[in-house]
Amino acid sequence: MKITVIGTGYVGLVTGTCLAEMGNHVMCLDVDEKKIRILEEGGIPIHEPGLLEMVTRNRAAGRLQFTTDVIKAVNHGTLQFIGVGTPPDEDGSADLQYVLAAARNVGKHMTDYKVVINKSTVPVGTGDKVRAAVAEELKKRGSDVEFAVVSNPEFLKEGAAVEDFMRPDRIVVGGDDERAILLMRALYSPFIRNHDRLLVMDIKSAEFTKYAANSMLATRISFMNELALLSEKVGADIELVRKGIGSDPRIGYHFLYAGAGYGGSCFPKDVKALVKTASQNGVELQVLQAVEAANERQKHVLVDKVVARFGEDLTGRTFAIWGLAFKPNTDDMREAPSRVIIGELVRRGAKLRAYDPVAMPEAQRVMSDVKNLTFVDGQAQALEGADALVVITEWKEFKSPDFDLIKSSLKQPVVIDGRNLYDPQLMSTLGIEYTGIGRSAKP
Ligand code: NAD
């Protein structure tokens, strides 16, 4: 099939590349000339495991092209995927300007039947707005070319995006145009050969499903973070509690980790947007409001621990920071808890030596104005002469570190762990003063 993907970010680039991998001819469009230049020169503008190899292979096979030329891109595909950003507006609702601009471009330039597919995360009712935007442009030109609108929210996880796209848990398709649904089934059948995991529903339910999924996941995290706060007060260990409840299949182990708060480009904005949609419809989503408030508080928990140990005034103190990305295996710094934590520590006078395996260029870009923050080349360099180690992201390489080096490099062996990577008992045996999240149990 011939496919156009509008927006070549985390979702668009992975979607376009994985569809090309199955033999489709894909053209990816972006307004960002720099991104397209990097792609045309054989690189990729983001870090995503396995993506570069797949892009390279499909470009070489002539199935994957990149362009900034809107007319060429719209003419290319029968299927027009919209995968542009939907950042939060000032009031928390999703800003649809990029989605609607993309839809208008399709309407402006299409000359034959198109299926306009919304892959961006968009509020319930956006399908109607997209349809109206395309129709308005066609009307301006006096054209009566047919088109269909479909909702196909994306559930991939950054850091495992290629794997998720190639082996999806489910594919949600919202729409009522039979021809369009048939095309969507044909497109996705190679990805779900063994299990028919394509769920067809109406557009609004499909749009809602994406927000419901992210809100549920965010709820689990905030729930555990709140229990962790209580755990510390009552002398329990949230890690043991997690295992104790996760073994119940009704609960399960996924997304039950207490930590330094959730971040990224999706959970914070999607929770806010669903709360906003609800209030616009006269419904108060009390649970989700609490989920968001709990997360805001959680981003300060590590700072509170540093202050509890070293005092409110951190002038003259240096801290090693391990991990900047909002989660491992990505360079995404959007809404990363590290940004709040670093800002708060520096505001109190601390100097920071930070290391992240892949997110440092992006971190340098988004925190270029932060004073007293030095980016260093490795875990060991971050530790040199620091007063304590603060772990913010659970990269694999931080999970079994050289504890002797930690002890010998730090001024005093203090580890403040925002991801509960280490065993408190082992740390105590090693003579390391250790604080995790929600772990005050005495063995
Ligand atoms: P992104 O910011 O990485 O990429 C968006 C891209 O769209 C940018 O490169 C931008 O230049 C481009 N763009 C904007 N307007 C355009 C236009 N008119 N024409 C062509 N290109 C245009 O965003 P993302 O993380 O890929 O997210 C995209 C959407 O997918 C969002 O709605 C997001 O909520 C949703 N989503 C994201 C993820 C994720 O993990 N990142 C997962 C599922 C869903």
Domain count along the chain: 2
Q: Is the minimum distance from the CB of 237 to ligand 1 under 6 angstroms?
A: no
Q: Is the minimum distance from the CB of 29 to ligand 1 under 6 angstroms?
A: yes
DSSP state letters, 182-194: HHHHHHHGGGGSS
For residue range 65-108, list pLDDT tens digits in order: 999 999 999 999 999 999 999 999 888 899 999 999 999 999 99
Q: Is the minimum distance from the CB of 123 to ligand 1 under 6 angstroms?
A: no
| Residue position matching structure tokens 């706060």 | 229
Q: How high is the pLDDT of residue 443?
A: 59
Q: Is the minimum distance from the CB of 158 to ligand 1 under 6 angstroms?
A: yes
What CA–CA distance (Å, rounded) separates 172 from 436? Answer: 38
- 274 in any annotated domain: yes
For residue range 257-304, list pLDDT tens digits in order: 999 999 999 999 999 999 999 999 999 999 999 999 999 999 999 999
- 210 in any annotated domain: no
Q: Is the minimum distance from the CB of 32 to ligand 1 under 6 angstroms?
A: yes
> According to the annotation, is 258 in a ligand binding site?
yes
pLDDT interval class at 322 (50, 70, 90):
very high
Q: CB of 25 within 8 A of CB of 1? A: yes
Rounded to the nearest whole angstrom, what is the distance from the C-alpha of residue 85 to the centroid of ligand 1? Answer: 3
Q: Indicate whether 83 and 183 sit together in one domain.
A: yes
For residue range 353-405, list pLDDT tens digits in order: 999 999 999 999 999 999 999 999 999 999 999 999 999 999 999 999 999 99
State the catalytic residues. Answer: 266
HSE of 362, CA atoms in CB hemisphere, 13 A: 20
> According to the annotation, is 35 in a ligand binding site?
yes
For 360, other C-beta atoms within 10 Å of its C-beta total: 18
Of 201, 227, 254, the residue that ends a domain is 201
Beta 414-417 vs 433-435: how paired, if at all?
parallel
- 75 in any annotated domain: yes
For residue range 125-157, list pLDDT tens digits in order: 999 999 999 999 999 999 999 999 999 999 999
For residue range 21-75, list pLDDT tens digits in order: 999 999 999 999 999 999 999 999 999 999 999 999 999 999 999 999 999 999 9
**What is the ipTM, given to two decimal places?**
0.99
Of 167, 201, 235, the residue that ends a domain is 201
Token code pair at residue 249: 């299949």
* CATH number reported for the structural domain that contains residue 49 in this entry: 3.40.50.720
Nearest residue by C-alpha to atom 12 in ligand 1: 7
Token code pair at residue 204: 């609004």
For residue range 106-126, list pLDDT tens digits in order: 999 999 999 999 999 999 999
Nearest residue by C-alpha to atom 29 in ligand 1: 120
State how far the alpha carbon of 362 is from the alpha carbons of 330, 366, 371, 373, 379, in Å.
10, 6, 16, 14, 18
State how far the alpha carbon of 12 is from the alpha carbons of 3, 273, 284, 329, in Å.
12, 21, 33, 18
Nearest residue by C-alpha to atom 41 in ligand 1: 10
For residue range 154-172, list pLDDT tens digits in order: 999 999 999 999 999 999 9
> According to the annotation, is 393 in a ligand binding site?
no
Q: Domain span at residue 304?
A: 217-435
Q: Indicate whether 164 and 54 sit together in one domain.
A: yes
- Rounded to the nearest angstrom, the gap between the alpha carbon of residue 47 and the centroid of all alpha carbons in its chain is 12
Rounded to the nearest whole angstrom, what is the distance from the C-alpha of residue 9 to the centroid of ligand 1? Answer: 5
